[in-house]
């Protein structure tokens, strides 16, 4: 799922430049030209990140920062603006995650945005209910899917007997999907199955974890056209699917 970013920027050229810089990461940009427009958006939706300029036509950007801390304290925000050292310091004191000075480098802006999103994904996991509240994974042998093997007793996943370096949460997510190979599994189902809390699906935590698992799976070399390693497919608007060439039940 693409991250959503609320961009509060009254300059059309700057807004277009930010949108272009973040295009490679597939971000969905919600553009607000004024502070009032931004507040209207936040009444009905929650983006993954708020990015704002300090010079707005209807409100001082620093005042808006202070208001955001009260109106959207669960949403991280960053500044993308021309600003003095004093304004930068005050922005951080008001809770800004970062301050990118105009003119900016597109690659650097994207990297800073990705860092904020990943940091908050990790924080969401830390704040989530303990894994014990989620359904038990069981014990002993787990699913065997083509070249992939799961050992629940050892919390170990291997491909061609070579272990994958998975975190505990990555392991639980992969096992959940491996028990339903070929099925499209929604983010809500993954949230319930691993965290025992469907509200986790409203953050981008799951997407970040699944991307890392997919990257680790793709690191296993393809042997031939009919014997590729398991891979995770992102089915747009529906969820994720673990796809393997030859599926056998555990």
- The number of folded domains in the chain is 2
User: Do 244 and 160 belong to one domain?
Assistant: yes
User: Do 163 and 118 belong to one domain?
Assistant: no
**Whole-angstrom Cα distance, residue 92 to residue 218?**
39
Contact 7, 19 (CB under 8 A): yes
Contact 178, 143 (CB under 8 A): yes
User: Do 115 and 20 belong to one domain?
Assistant: yes
User: Do 140 and 120 belong to one domain?
Assistant: no
Sorting pLDDT into bands at 50, 70 and 90, what band is 199?
low
User: Do 66 and 100 belong to one domain?
Assistant: yes
Name, in order, each residue with C-beta under 8 angstroms of 225's C-beta and a sequence gap of 6 or more: none
Cβ neighbour number for residue 76 with a 10 Å cutoff: 21
User: Do 10 and 122 belong to one domain?
Assistant: yes
**What kind and span of H or E run contains 232?**
strand 231-235
CATH number at residue 145: 1.10.10.10
User: Do 139 and 189 belong to one domain?
Assistant: yes
Q: Measured between alpha carbons, how far is residue 90 from residues 66, 68, 237 in Å? A: 10, 14, 40
Contact 133, 199 (CB under 8 A): no
Pairing of strands 4-8, 49-52: parallel
Supply the range of the domain harboring residue 189.
132-248
**CA 11 to chain CA mean position, Å:** 28
**Whole-angstrom Cα distance, residue 178 to residue 195?**
17
* pLDDT at residue 81, rounded to an integer: 93
Query: pLDDT tens for residues 58-112?
Result: 999 888 888 876 677 678 899 999 989 999 999 998 889 999 999 999 889 988 9
The arithmetic mean of pLDDT across residues 162-188, rounded, is 86
Query: pLDDT tens for residues 51-60?
Result: 999 999 999 9
User: Do 142 and 235 belong to one domain?
Assistant: yes
User: Do 76 and 141 belong to one domain?
Assistant: no
CATH number at residue 91: 3.40.50.2300
Beta strands in 117-187 (DSSP E): 141-145, 148-151, 156-159, 162-163, 184-185
Main-chain phi, psi angles of 154, to 5 degrees? -100, 0
User: Do 62 and 152 belong to one domain?
Assistant: no
User: Do 111 and 141 belong to one domain?
Assistant: no
- DSSP state for residue 158 in the 8-state scheme: E
Check pLDDT > 90 for residue 13. Answer: yes
User: Do 90 and 146 belong to one domain?
Assistant: no
- DSSP state for residue 135 in the 8-state scheme: P
**Whole-angstrom Cα distance, residue 232 to residue 29?**
26
């Amino acid at each position: 799922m693409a991250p959503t970013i609320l961009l509060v920027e009254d300059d059309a050229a700057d807004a277009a430049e930010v949108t272009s810089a973040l295009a490679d990461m597939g971000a969905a940009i919600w553009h607000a030209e004024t502070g009032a427009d931004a507040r209207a958006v936040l009444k009905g939706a929650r983006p993954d990140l708020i990015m704002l300029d300090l010079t707005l036509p209807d409100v001082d950007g620093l005042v808006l920062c202070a208001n955001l801390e009260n109106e959207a304290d669960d949403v991280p925000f960053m500044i993308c603006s021309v600003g003095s050292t004093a304004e930068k310091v005050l922005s951080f004191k008001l809770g800004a995650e970062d301050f990118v000075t105009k003119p900016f480098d597109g690659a650097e802006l994207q990297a800073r945005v990705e860092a904020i999103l990943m940091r908050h994904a990790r924080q969401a996991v830390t704040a989530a209910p303990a894994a014990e509240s989620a359904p038990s994974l069981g014990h002993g042998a787990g699913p065997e899917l083509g070249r992939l093997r799961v050992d629940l007793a050892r919390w170990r996943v291997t491909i061609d007997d070579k272990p994958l370096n998975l975190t505990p949460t990555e392991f639980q997510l992969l096992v959940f999907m491996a028990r339903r190979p070929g099925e499209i599994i929604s983010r809500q189902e993954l949230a319930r199955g691993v965290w025992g809390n469907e509200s986790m699906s409203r953050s981008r935590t799951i997407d970040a974890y699944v991307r890392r698992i997919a990257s680790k799976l793709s690191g296993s070399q393809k042997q031939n056209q009919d014997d590729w390693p398991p891979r995770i497919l992102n089915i747009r608007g529906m969820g994720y699917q673990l796809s393997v060439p030859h599926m056998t039940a555990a």
